[in-house]
């Protein structure tokens, strides 16, 4: 077997073995980010728009450079959620209890122009 195929298969297997830990860390980060997104600060807007972008990037585009406006722990939590969402088994809003209601509120708060269409 070609060595590059063997290497690719080994990387894929390693990722699958790490996936449960990636999901756990991502869900924990998501649960830290949601209260921030539900608040009313500049960082809340960034986190809220980030979460909406993961939910539906076409309807809720997110400017990546906005992440520079976050404190480092919030930035790191966003990266953990993004890593979790790289290969999603569930939509991001399905990872938390009441996610549909939470995301509806995020849409109304941080993307009213889309909700009003």
Number of structural domains the chain divides into: 1
* Lowest mean pLDDT, pick from 11-25, 26-40, 103-117: 103-117
Give percent of the chain above pLDDT 90.
83
CA distances from 18 to 38, 51, 94, 100 (A): 30, 23, 21, 28
**pTM, entire model:** 0.90
Summarize pLDDT for 41-54 with one digit per residue, the tens: 999 999 999 999 99
Are the beta carbons of 85 and 92 closer than 8 angstroms?
yes
Domain that holds residue 68: 3-115
Taking the C-alpha atoms of residue 12 and residue 104, their distance in angstroms, rounded to an integer, is 35
For range 7-27, the mean pLDDT: 93
Are the beta carbons of 51 and 26 closer than 8 angstroms?
no
Summarize pLDDT for 81-112 with one digit per residue, the tens: 999 999 999 999 999 999 999 999 999 999 98
The pLDDT assigned to 117 comes to: 63
First to last CA, the chain: 54
Checking if the pLDDT of 61 tops 90, the result is yes
């Amino acid at each position: 077997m070609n060595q590059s195929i063997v290497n690719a298969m080994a990387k894929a297997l390693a990722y699958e073995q790490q996936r449960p830990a990636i999901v756990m860390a991502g869900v924990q980060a998501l649960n830290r980010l949601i209260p921030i997104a539900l608040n009313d600060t500049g960082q809340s807007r960034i986190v809220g728009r980030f979460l909406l972008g993961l939910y539906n990037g076409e309807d809720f585009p997110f400017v990546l450079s906005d992440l520079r406006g976050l404190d480092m722990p919030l930035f790191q939590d966003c990266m953990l959620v993004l890593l979790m969402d790289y290969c999603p088994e569930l939509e991001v809003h399905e990872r938390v209890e009441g996610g549909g209601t939470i995301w509806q509120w995020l849409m109304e708060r941080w993307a009213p122009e889309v909700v009003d269409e």
